[in-house]
C-alpha cells in the first residue's frame, strides 16, 4: 500500500486485481453461507416445527413461521418422555463414560507416541483393527461374555448386563466404541510435542509419570476436551450399544427412539385418522430431537473454543 502511493495509484475501482479479489471473496462468502445454512437447516426446520400446530404442517403457505403458534408442544413432550429424570441419568452416565475414556485413551495415546517399546508397531495395528471392526459385530459376543462374566474364574460369576459395569470396564481399557479413534488422535497430538520438553523435565529430575501428569496432561488440555466431547456425545446419542448392554438405563435417546414406536403403534391401531396422528408424531419427534440436542449444543458452545483449538494443533500424519 505504501509503495503504490509513490507510483501514482489508479483509483481502486479501475484496478482489475481489486475486482478479482472482490469476486473471489464474494464466491467464498456465498459458499460458506450456503454450507452453514445446509448444516443448520435441519435444526431450523425442527425448531419451527416444534412451534407448530398440526394444521400448519399441512398448510402449504407455512414454511418456517407457523401460523398457529403452539408452545404446549414442549410441555407435552417433556411429559411423554419423562424428560428431566432421563436427562439427569443420561448426563451422569455419559459424563462418567466420557471422563474414563478421556483419561484411558490419552494415556494409551501417550504411550504410543513417546515410547519405542518392543511390539509397539503390532499393538498400534491392533488399534487400527479396533477402528475397522464395527461395534455391531462384537456386540453379541460381548453381550454373551458379560452375561456370564467371571474374569476367567477370578470373580464370583454374575451377570453384568443391565448395569453400568460393562461401560466402565470397556472405557477403562480404552476399547469402547470409537476409542481407537481417540487413541489415534491423542497419539498424533503428543507426537507434535517436541522431545526436548521431556528431556528438560528428565534433567530437572521428574520421573516418567511425573512428566506425564504435570507437563503432558497440562499441555494436552484442548485435545482432552475434544475427546471428552466426542465420547460424551457418542454415549449421549447411542441407543444400539446401550440398549443391549445397559437396557435398564432410561436415557433421553432411548425414550426418543421409543417415542416413534409408541406413536406408530397407536397409528396402526387407528387406521382412519392416520394423517393427523402422523403429523402430531412428527411434531413431537422434531420437538424431542431438539430437546435431545439442546444440552449438547449448550456444551458445544462452551467447549467450542478448545475444540477448534485442538483442531489447529492436531497435525495428523498417516
Partner 1 sequence: MKKKNKRRQRLNVNRNRYGYVFVAPFIIGFALFILLPIIQSLVFSMSDITLTMDGYTLDFVGLNSYSRALLVDADIRRLIVNSLAQTFTELPVILAFSFFAALLLKDKFRGRNMVRAIFFLPVIMASGVITIIDNSNATLATMMNRNTADLVNGVRTSLSASKLILSLFSSSVPPAILQLLGSAIDRLYDVIMASGLQIIIFIGGLNMISPSIFEASNIEGATAWENFWKITFPMMGPYFLLNTVYTVIDSFVNIKNPLIMTIQNYLISFSEFSFASAIFWIYFAIIVTVVGIIIKVMSKRVFYYD
Query: Considering only residues 219-258, where is the footprint of partner 1 by CB under 8 A?
Result: 229-230, 233-234, 236-240, 253-254, 256-257
Task: Work out which of 20, 30, 172, 266 binds partner 1, going by CB under 8 A.
Answer: 172
Q: Give yes or no for residue 164 binding partner 1 (CB under 8 A).
A: no
Range in contact with partner 1 (rule: CB under 8 A) among 12-20, 71-79, 91-99, 205-213? 205-213
Q: Please name the helix (run of DSSP H) or strand (run of DSSP E) that holds residue 213, with its range, or none.
A: none
**How far apart are the C-alpha atoms of 62 and 41, rounded to whole Å?**
16
| Least Cβ distance, residue 89 to partner 1 (angstroms) | 15
Asked if 237 and 253 count as a contact pair (C-beta separation under 8 A), the reply is yes
Cα–Cα distance, 308 to 312 (Å, whole number): 7
**Residue 85 or 207: which CB sits closer to partner 1?**
207
Q: Which of 20, 23, 26, 36 binds partner 1 (CB under 8 A)?
A: 36
Nearest-approach distance from CB 250 to partner 1, in angstroms: 14
> Which residues inside 3-22 make contact with partner 1, applying CB under 8 A?
none
Closest CA to 78 of 294, 298, 300: 294
Q: Given the complex with partner 1, which of 8 and 68 has the nearer CB atom?
A: 68
Place of cell 507510483: 7
How many C-beta neighbours within 10 Å does residue 266 have? 13
Identified binder of partner 1 from the candidate list 147, 155, 294, 298, rule CB under 8 A:
147
Instruction: State the sign of the Cα–Cα–Cα–Cα dihedral 209, 211, 217, 223.
Output: negative
Which of the residues 40 through 99 are near partner 1 (CB under 8 A)? 40-42, 45, 49, 57-60, 62-63
Residue 39 makes contact with partner 1 by CB under 8 A: yes
Phi–psi pair at 149, nearest 5 degrees: -95, 120
Interaction between residue 104 and partner 1 (CB under 8 A): yes
Closest distance to partner 1 from the beta carbon of 243 (Å): 10
Q: Show the site string, 107-146: x = touches partner 1 by CB under 8 A, - = not.
A: xx-xxx-xxxx--x--x--xx-xxxxxxxxxxxxxx-xx-
In angstroms, give the least distance from the CB of 129 to partner 1.
Answer: 7
Asked if residue 155 binds partner 1 (CB under 8 A), the reply is no
How far is 171 from 175, CA to CA, in rounded Å?
Answer: 6
Q: Pick out residues in 255-314 that bind partner 1 (CB under 8 A).
A: 256-257, 260, 275, 278-279, 281-282, 285-286, 288-289, 292-293, 296, 300-301, 304-305, 307-308, 311-314
Question: In angstroms, rounded to a whole number, what is the distance separating the alpha carbons of residues 130 and 176?
Answer: 9
Q: Are the C-beta atoms of residues 314 and 183 closer than 8 Å to each other? A: no
- Owner of C-alpha cell 450399544: 241
Question: Which residues, at least 6 apart from 37, have a Cβ–Cβ distance to it below 8 Å?
Answer: none
CB under 8 Å to 305, separation ≥6 — which residues?
Answer: none
Amino acid at each position: 500500500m505504501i509503495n503504490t502511493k509513490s507510483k501514482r495509484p489508479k483509483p481502486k475501482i479501475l484496478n482489475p486485481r481489486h475486482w478479482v479479489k472482490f469476486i473471489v471473496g464474494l464466491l467464498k462468502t456465498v459458499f460458506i453461507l450456503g454450507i452453514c445454512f445446509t448444516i443448520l437447516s435441519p435444526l431450523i426446520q425442527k425448531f419451527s416445527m416444534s412451534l407448530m400446530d398440526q394444521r400448519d404442517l399441512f398448510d402449504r403457505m407455512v414454511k418456517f413461521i407457523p401460523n398457529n403458534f403452539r408452545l404446549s408442544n414442549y410441555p407435552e413432550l417433556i411429559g411423554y418422555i419423562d424428560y428431566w429424570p432421563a436427562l439427569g441419568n443420561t448426563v451422569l452416565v455419559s459424563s462418567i463414560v466420557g471422563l474414563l475414556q478421556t483419561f484411558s485413551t490419552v494415556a494409551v495415546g501417550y504411550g504410543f507416541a513417546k515410547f519405542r517399546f518392543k511390539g509397539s508397531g503390532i499393538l498400534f495395528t491392533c488399534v487400527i483393527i479396533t477402528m475397522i471392526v464395527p461395534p455391531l459385530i462384537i456386540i453379541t459376543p460381548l453381550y454373551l461374555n458379560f452375561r456370564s462374566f467371571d474374569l476367567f474364574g477370578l470373580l464370583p460369576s454374575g451377570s453384568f448386563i443391565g448395569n453400568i459395569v460393562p461401560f466402565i470396564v470397556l472405557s477403562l481399557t480404552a476399547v469402547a466404541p470409537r476409542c481407537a479413534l481417540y487413541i489415534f488422535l491423542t497419539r498424533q497430538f503428543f507426537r507434535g510435542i517436541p522431545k526436548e520438553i521431556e528431556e528438560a523435565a528428565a534433567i530437572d529430575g521428574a520421573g516418567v509419570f511425573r512428566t506425564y501428569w504435570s507437563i503432558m496432561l497440562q499441555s494436552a488440555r484442548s485435545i482432552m476436551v475434544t475427546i471428552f466431547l466426542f465420547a460424551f456425545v457418542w454415549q449421549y446419542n447411542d441407543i444400539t450399544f446401550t440398549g443391549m448392554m445397559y437396557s435398564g438405563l432410561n436415557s433421553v435417546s432411548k425414550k426418543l427412539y421409543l417415542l416413534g414406536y409408541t406413536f406408530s403403534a397407536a397409528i396402526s391401531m387407528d387406521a382412519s385418522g392416520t394423517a393427523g396422528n402422523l403429523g402430531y408424531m412428527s411434531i413431537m419427534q422434531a420437538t424431542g430431537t431438539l430437546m435431545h440436542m439442546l444440552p449438547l449444543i449448550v456444551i458445544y458452545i462452551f467447549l467450542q473454543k478448545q475444540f477448534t483449538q485442538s483442531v489447529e494443533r492436531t497435525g495428523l500424519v498417516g
